[in-house]
Amino acid sequence: MNKQGPDALKKAVERMLSEANTRMQAGKNLDAARSYKKAAQFAEQSIELLSDADERRAMTLRATEYKQRSRSLETTGRADLGRVKPSEMPADEIVYSDEDSDLQEQQILLLIDDTPRTIEWESIGGLLELKEELKFHYGLAMAKVPEGVDVEGWQNIMFYGPPGTGKTLLACAIANKLNATFFNVKASQIVSKWVGESGKLISTLYRLARKFTKDGRPSIIFIDEFDALCKSRGFEGQLYHQQMLAAILSEIDGFANKGQRNLVMTIGATNRPWDLDAAVLSRFERRILITLPDEAARADIFRIHLEGRGLAVDHRSLSYEKLAKMSDRLTGREVARLCKEVTARMLAEMNPEIPKLVDDGLRSIQSYEIKVRPLRHIDFDPFFCDLAPDTSIKDLQNYDQWGVKVKESVL
Ligand SMILES: Nc1ncnc2c1ncn2[C@@H]1O[C@H](COP(=O)(O)OP(=O)(O)O)[C@@H](O)[C@H]1O
Ligand SMILES: [Mg+2]
């Protein structure tokens, strides 16, 4: 077995340890605590990939120890130094043939994102039918297939639609429910960071994603701003976009081994579907429009971002239905922002003494408990006066028209 996956993680642990040391020497204890925390995370991730029981045990010990150091630094400002020092790590455990690909693996590991753990289907307002459909098709992709029967669930899908409508949230919810390792890739960012190397980087990404499926857990590769890879040719940098795109497409194509479940799934997302060409689109089994929330969905989103966050609401004066009626054409993100602004104003009104307490010193602010009161409809009034939705009617038409056109050309 190729052991570069756990090796890269071990190397990442070492890197975080030496970072922690440097930071401690510079007296930056809180920063050092963060490095220890990361070291612990990498150590934990590597445990799953180690096949040798002794190695796993040793790594578990180390992870616990680094967590303790981190916590101790955070609370007492002192490192409760345990047994393992970076230099005690047997040198022969970290062997690399290729410095570059090692660095690439480390970059890829940094793309693993734990946010999905906090996103449930219930944290997403509206989109009821789509949620059921996603559960069904990802269920099909994971379930046992009877002998001789050839059925497939969704392996690769593309979300498109206006920004702020829940595309990322949906990808996170799927990953959470499937207990998947979530690789969060922003196309534009990785292409600019890895000029000239992007094709190779993508194959490293998919190779590691496959490796992480060893224990039956799927990997989800979420590629946001997919359009950034497909814009019209001609620029010099464009070449690299094309290389990266070609690599992604061949990965998507290449590993659907017949008769064997492929646990690496790709979810693309874009606000500019018209920048994607037919060759790209045909690789994705489904292209799914995530458009603006309707009235019922907006009511749901208001609830999620108010009571869903533990904020009290005065139901005699505030109705979610009424808020939903007044917020036509807002995206989920705009509704969330509105709730945040209203909450911020309520907090400012209820807690005017906070700046003074900060002046008085850490102890007095830490012993103060924030006051809240139930939100009322009038709290929203000032914000509804100058609502200017981010999404225009023309934008919406463009998405619809594109959807119709692509159905005709790709299917
Ligand atoms: N359907 C929704 N339900 C609840 N919150 C939403 C919804 N859509 C968007 N939001 C809010 O907007 C933010 C951005 O959503 P996101 O999924 O990143 O949008 P997109 O990926 O479509 O641009 C979310 O973090 C959330 O706070
Ligand atoms: Mg997004």
> How far separated are the first and last CA of the chain, in Å rounded?
40
Q: Given the CA of residue 172, which atom of ligand 1 is nearest to it?
A: 17
CB neighbourhood size of 357 (10 A)? 16
Give the span between the Cα atoms of 290 and 281, in whole angstroms: 16
| Residue 352 CA, ligand 1 centroid: distance in Å | 31
- Of the listed ranges 13-27, 75-89, 293-307, 310-324, the least confidently predicted one is 75-89
Look at residue 78 in the predicted model and tell me its pLDDT.
Answer: 66
Radius of gyration, CA atoms only, the chain: 25
Q: Give just the sign of the alpha carbon dihedral 50, 56, 60, 61.
A: negative
List of domains in the chain? 6-85 (1.20.58), 108-291 (3.40.50.300), 295-390 (1.10.8.60)
Q: Is 166 in the pocket of ligand 1 (CB under 6 A)?
A: yes
Give the residue, out of 169, 174, 176, 184, with the most ligand 1 atoms within 8 A of its beta carbon, to mutate for a pocket test: 169
Could you report the per-residue pLDDT of 371-395, keeping only the tens digit for each? 999 999 999 999 988 788 999 999 9
Give the span between the Cα atoms of 110 and 364, in whole angstroms: 38
Quick one: tokens of 301? 């989103």
Spatial CA neighbour of 109 closest among 188, 177, 181, 21? 181
Distance from the Cα of residue 8 to its chain's centroid:
21
Could you report the per-residue pLDDT of 68-113, keeping only the tens digit for each? 888 878 877 766 554 433 333 333 333 334 566 777 888 888 899 9
pTM: 0.76
Give the span between the Cα atoms of 11 and 231, in whole angstroms: 36
| Residue 155 CA, ligand 1 centroid: distance in Å | 23
Look at residue 167 and tell me whether its pLDDT is greater than 60. Answer: yes
217-233 per-residue burial string, b: 16 or more CB within 10 A, e: under 16: ebbbbbbbbbbbbbeee
Could you report the per-residue pLDDT of 21-34, keeping only the tens digit for each? 888 878 888 888 89
Q: Hunting for tokens 């909450």 — which residue is that?
A: 343
Mean pLDDT of the chain: 85
Q: Is 301 in the pocket of ligand 1 (CB under 6 A)?
A: yes
Q: Which helix (DSSP H) or strand (DSSP E) does residue 59 occupy?
A: helix 53-76
Q: Is 116 in the pocket of ligand 1 (CB under 6 A)?
A: no
Give the span between the Cα atoms of 216 and 96, in whole angstroms: 27
Query: For residue 183, what is the DSSP state?
Result: E
Q: Is 268 in the pocket of ligand 1 (CB under 6 A)?
A: no
Question: Please, is 163 exposed, middle or buried when counting C-beta atoms within 10 Å of its C-beta (0-12, 13-18, 19+)?
Answer: middle
Please report, for residues 67, 226, 269, 327, 410, the alpha-carbon distance to residue 276 in angstroms, rounded to integers and kept in the order given.
44, 8, 11, 31, 12
The ligand placed nearest to the CA atom of residue 309 is: 1
Give the span between the Cα atoms of 173 and 316, in whole angstroms: 33
The ligand placed nearest to the CA atom of residue 164 is: 1
